[in-house]
Structure 1
């Protein structure tokens, strides 16, 4: 089941044509170039997607490999895998549930689409391409008749408030709209709902290693 969609997004009122589609083996070079633009030094290059990870994404679960193309250039990507997920037992780390990004643990019979990663080139972030990719993943959840989409959201704004409030208080303030968090607020705008706060989810100094697990439930699933 391939995903392919043409549409316009707007840059100060000017329509910009984009293509949202599955990325493929022929896109690996462009995907690695995107990682370099999204995560420039001093971000360690060994944490960019490598070719083996990307090959696994497109071979094990091609439906979960989404990218955005503008004038032939890949400017955004989002990756997921299927897992069997129990919302009553939500605790895990990013490494555990994504198999360190290699998704060898992809389960074709899983009930949930789990978000591995999402990124957009800094030059195109004002076009809200992240929201467009998220909608494409929601459509994939519906097409595959899965129960939900789930993913851990970093909280990169938390380090600025860690001395004055607990992480629970920070999440409450973000959900109430008293504080803007670059990731959690974005996910709320995309329709994701808080599910659980996870400690030691990923080594992430800004988030103090916390993540907010957030879900989107398939409204057609019964």
Structure 2
């Protein structure tokens, strides 16, 4: 290969590399934009709307965040966060008709919510604070990793936990299909593989 052909070859290689790099940058930029949009949706849904309905012990409002006419599994990977002693259990719920819940051998969602809020009342529960820590979007399923803090009527924090909420898009709306709760520590971050989840990077 003579010098002129070598220059042409190198020029073409440089252009190809530049185009490839530009394409990848565009691809990553579009992906980040999509994730940022999902983050904003989840942040409002979880840290504002759901928090308000839960803090107000609004059963109908609280259950509206769960997928309708669907099986909902709640996994307690750490200490019980419902006000009852114990850990490491699974609660199988059906968010829909009570008769359908019985057929599926699942707890009706309304009964689950009423039981939960009664336990909270015995703890002098006042309100919750919820922080969105990270999200993960894969194959149409969206997961939100959160920290939950509960306060009593003396404004004292008496419970802190983390949760992994799985959402499914139904008619352009994201609904909860599964919840896993964890103790509020770094071990939980490792269990859910936090390092591979997405969150907005803070500006320096």
Query: Which of structures 1 and 2 has the bigger CA Rg?
Result: 2
Higher helix proportion (structure 1 or 2): 2
State TM-score, norm by structure 2.
0.24
State TM-score, norm by structure 1.
0.22
